[in-house]
Amino acid sequence: MSTSIAGGKAQKAIVWIGAALFAVLYFALNFNSWWTYDSLDDFGLFMQSMNDPSGMLRNSVEGSHFFVHFSPIYDLFAPLVQFTHSVVPVLVLQSVAGALVGIGTYELAKGRIPEKYAVALACVALLYPPLGGLIYNAPYETCFAPAATVWIFVFAMRRNWTATVLVALLTLGIKEDQGVFLAWDALVAGVFAWRTGDRALLKVSGSLFLVALVVPAAWLIWRNDVQAHWIALNPIFSPVASGVTSPLTSALRRIGFMGEVLVPLGLLPLFSGRWMLFAIPPFLEVLIPPYDSLRDVQAHYSGVWIGYAMIAFVMGAGRVYAAHPRRLRAFVQFSLIAAPAILIFASPLHWRATVHARTPQDAVLDRILADDLPPTGTIGVSNGMFGHLWESRRFELGLANRPCYALVDPTLLPNTQTPMATLVRERRWGRYVRVWEKSGVTLYRRISCETSEAGTSRGSGLRSRRS
């Protein structure tokens, strides 16, 4: 018995060590992306939102993030951002959230299959290419959805109802579509509880079903745009919109997407039976619309279904083992080869294109952002610079809000697919004249910007740059 306990502790340690390595690696990748001015537009938007002390997640792009998405989870992170004036806490939380998927996968699997297979499934989860693509990204709300989803099921199966409800409430605060998914989960679980006479599960699932419907509905009513939301969603699911590509091409792309989902998992989710019922709404959200970007496993949209794929992965393994114990070995071995091979050689992370050291130009930008910008007036910047200037809302992404100044570095990634230099030349947002140029970085001023406007700041002056 003592040998068994020691073996179990050793195997569990493998999972925790793997999760720790995952968290460290993806923190380093995301920090490097920010440090080398490669962060995308939404990075600065989210940081600027969390830096708002009002709790309304205000930023210079959306006004309030609550006008776009219901994501109060950012308000939980806001004190850390405002206290540290740093991107580090958010990047740590993001990488840890990804690591928790692996630990949760192990916790779901142990007891259903032999310990060695439970550890192997956790390793596959940590090497799962879509999870890597999700975590190596801006800190989207959906980064936290897979871990929350998996741990709801972990606690529910342990019949730890308090933890189940708390994680479910946290999940509701991630994004409005989580309310739909959670309501469906509660409905499916409630039907199962009713058929088996499980009163405790029926009570919890019934309560969560009501809460999962009421919370997003209250947000829509608060926004006073229920009809506007329906008008926006209607063309997404209409036959006209789905005709963007030919039916055959559209079908093949969706099949290819499902291959990217299932192949690294050894197709085991297909053997999970009724457990795949829970995955129906999140997969429909990305499969039905005509937009291929929703089915990009590197994009943040994958956060809605990864957790459900992991649950089906574990339950599929359990069903295979129960029916044919020896066959599970082949499935797990395939997954342990396929997941890392895809992550390395066909990675959604695009290692070679996105991971690089700092350049001398990055040091130039550090100095310019700290010392050479006008002390007042709104300034339009591109993606990478926006991620370093989030502490004041006088810094804006691009020129759509007609800022007084435009700061252009042609070596940076384009601003929402349009280079800042092009935006200045087009004069769509006003006529800008050059103020100065230093080491290839140019500051422009809008001619129609009045002196009084230049002296108006949406936030405090630029603080010294910190991490």
Confidence of residue 458 (pLDDT cuts 50, 70, 90): very low
pLDDT at site 436: 94
The answer to whether the CB of 381 falls within 8 A of the CB of 396 is yes
Tens of pLDDT, residues 137-181: 999 999 999 999 999 999 999 999 999 999 999 999 999 999 999
Instruction: Average the pLDDT over each of 89-98, 128-137, 347-356, 447-456 and give the range with the smallest value.
Output: 447-456
pLDDT, average across residues 129-133: 95
pLDDT, average across residues 318-332: 95
Instruction: Work out the mean pLDDT of the chain and round it to a whole number.
Output: 88
Tens of pLDDT, residues 262-307: 999 999 999 999 999 999 999 999 998 888 888 888 889 999 999 9
CA distances (Å), origin 193, targets 148, 167, 185, 190, 452: 22, 20, 12, 5, 66
Q: 152-179 burial, b if ≥16 CB within 10 A, otherwise e?
A: bbbbbeeeeeeebbebbebbbbbbbbbb
pLDDT of 210 > 70? The answer is: yes
Which two structure tokens, joined as six digits, stand for 247? Answer: 């039916």
pLDDT at site 318: 96
Predicted structure pTM score: 0.89
Residues 45, 50, 51, 54, CA torsion sign: positive
Give start and end residues of each alpha helix (H) in 85-144.
88-109, 115-126, 129-135
Local structure of residue 397 (DSSP, 8 states): E
Reported as half-sphere exposure (CB side, CA atoms, 13 A), residue 337 has a value of 6
Confidence of residue 374 (pLDDT cuts 50, 70, 90): very high
Strand order in the sheet with 441-446: 395-397, 379-381, 405-408, 441-446, 432-438
pLDDT at site 192: 94
Confidence of residue 234 (pLDDT cuts 50, 70, 90): very low
pLDDT at site 44: 93
pLDDT, average across residues 305-317: 97
pLDDT at site 368: 95
pLDDT of 243 > 70? The answer is: no
Tens of pLDDT, residues 13-46: 999 999 999 999 999 999 999 999 998 889 999 9
Q: Which residue has the tokens 């409430």?
A: 169
Residues 248, 254, 259, 260, CA torsion sign: positive
What is the identity of the amino acid at 10?
A: A
pLDDT at site 463: 41
Tens of pLDDT, residues 330-362: 999 999 999 999 999 888 777 777 888 999 999
**Residue from 411, 383, 409, 378 nearest 395 by CA:** 378
Secondary structure of residue 40 in the 3-state scheme:
coil
Strands (DSSP E) along 362-440, which ranges? 379-381, 395-397, 405-408, 432-438
pLDDT at site 317: 97
Give the span between the Cα atoms of 41 and 27, in whole angstroms.
19
pLDDT, average across residues 302-330: 96
pLDDT at site 355: 87
Tens of pLDDT, residues 399-444: 989 999 999 998 887 665 678 888 898 888 889 999 999 999 999 9
